[in-house]
């Protein structure tokens, strides 16, 4: 045991003296406490951010998005954030389409929010094999980011909803890749990394190598557990990719 180590008091000071000096001193200890708090704050602020940006009319894409955030958050050092894309249809049209009211706690995304992300996951329903106009309108509003290539190099992926099995589980995602290409973003498909769950034939289920997916049917079908699990896997997979290749963006 080294000099002055362990539980042996130094011969040059009494037990009383040692106890007095070892008592906590709020004034003396304040700088140390501040350092600890600042360190914890810096550690939290260093977390990589994955923004899950989606448009959901009847709630199917939203279900995937929330489960996807769970997957992102499961990776240490990465945090997921949910954002809605602004609605473009007037309220009277939405009422005629019997679109349910959206939850207020989820914020609407602005174009400039995107530059704060270390990774992006975009979710949307299909319209004739390509993304819904609400999501397309949002991408169309990113021109000033494109001019400066502010999103170049950012990993990004897609997840979708279709009404039927042949309604665009793959085409809805791959026709959206042009949006990433013009921004210089890095497309991250999931491939078959979900494993056996992507080969099940005993029940219908959305999703493809391009990303998670869900079948909405006439709007009343709820996502299956397999579809939700695939969404969670995609969130976890994207978070791992971001953590492996990205560093926190300083803007």
Would you state the pLDDT for residue 31? 61
Asked whether the predicted pLDDT for residue 120 surpasses 60, the reply is yes
Query: pLDDT for 21-62, tens place per residue?
Result: 555 566 566 565 655 555 544 555 689 999 999 999 888 999
Q: Which two tokens stand for residue 116?
A: 């704060």
Mean pLDDT, residues 53-76 taken together: 95
Total tally of structural domains belonging to the chain: 1
- CB–CB of 123/231 below 8 Å? no
**Is residue 222 a part of any domain in this protein?**
yes
Return the higher-pLDDT residue of 114 and 95.
Answer: 114
Q: Which two tokens stand for residue 46?
A: 């260093």
**Is residue 209 a part of any domain in this protein?**
yes
Residue 11: pLDDT band by 50, 70, 90 thresholds? very low
Asked whether the predicted pLDDT for residue 14 surpasses 80, the reply is no
**Is residue 35 a part of any domain in this protein?**
no
Q: Which two tokens stand for residue 107?
A: 């914020």
Give the DSSP letter of residue 208: B
**Is residue 41 a part of any domain in this protein?**
no
Would you state the pLDDT for residue 160? 96
The CATH number that applies at residue 134 is 3.40.50.360
**What gap in Å lies between CA 94 and CA 118, rounded to an integer?**
34
**What gap in Å lies between CA 121 and CA 130, rounded to an integer?**
16
Return the higher-pLDDT residue of 90 and 72.
Answer: 72
Query: pLDDT for 206-246, tens place per residue?
Result: 899 999 999 988 878 889 999 999 999 999 999 999 999 86
**Is residue 96 a part of any domain in this protein?**
yes
**What gap in Å lies between CA 171 and CA 6, rounded to an integer?**
68
**Is residue 22 a part of any domain in this protein?**
no
**What gap in Å lies between CA 113 and CA 123, rounded to an integer?**
16
Domain that holds residue 120: 48-245
pLDDT averaged over the chain?
A: 84
Strand partners, 82: 52
**What gap in Å lies between CA 66 and CA 131, rounded to an integer?**
19
Buried/exposed code over 156-174 (b: 16+ C-beta within 10 A; e: otherwise): bbbbbbbbeeebbbbbbbb
- CB–CB of 184/194 below 8 Å? no
**Is residue 6 a part of any domain in this protein?**
no
Angle between helix 60-73 and helix 225-245 axes, rounded to 10 deg: 50
**Is residue 12 a part of any domain in this protein?**
no
Provide the whole-model pTM.
0.80
């Amino acid at each position: 045991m080294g000099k002055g180590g362990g539980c042996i008091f130094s011969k040059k000071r009494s037990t009383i003296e040692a106890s007095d000096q070892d008592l906590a001193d709020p004034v003396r200890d304040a700088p140390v406490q501040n350092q600890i708090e600042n360190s914890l704050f810096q550690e939290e602020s260093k977390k990589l951010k994955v923004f899950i940006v989606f448009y959901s009319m009847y709630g199917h894409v939203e279900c995937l998005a929330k489960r996807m955030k769970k997957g992102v958050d499961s990776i240490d050092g990465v945090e997921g954030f949910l954002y809605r894309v602004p609605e473009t249809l007037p309220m009277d049209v939405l009422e005629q389409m019997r679109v349910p009211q959206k939850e207020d706690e989820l914020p609407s995304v602005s174009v400039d929010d995107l530059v704060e992300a270390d990774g992006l996951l975009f979710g949307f329903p299909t319209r004739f094999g390509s993304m819904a106009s609400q999501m397309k309108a949002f991408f169309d509003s990113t021109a000033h980011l494109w001019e400066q290539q502010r999103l170049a190099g950012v990993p990004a992926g897609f997840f979708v909803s279709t009404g039927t099995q042949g309604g665009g589980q793959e085409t809805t995602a791959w026709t959206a890749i042009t949006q990433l290409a013009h921004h210089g973003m890095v497309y991250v498909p999931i491939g078959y990394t979900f494993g056996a769950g992507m080969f099940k034939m005993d029940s219908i289920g959305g999703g493809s190598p391009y990303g998670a997916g869900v079948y909405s049917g006439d709007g009343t079908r709820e996502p299956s557990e397999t579809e939700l699990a695939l969404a969670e896997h995609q969130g976890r997979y994207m978070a791992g990719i971001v953590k492996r290749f990205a560093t926190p963006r300083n803007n």
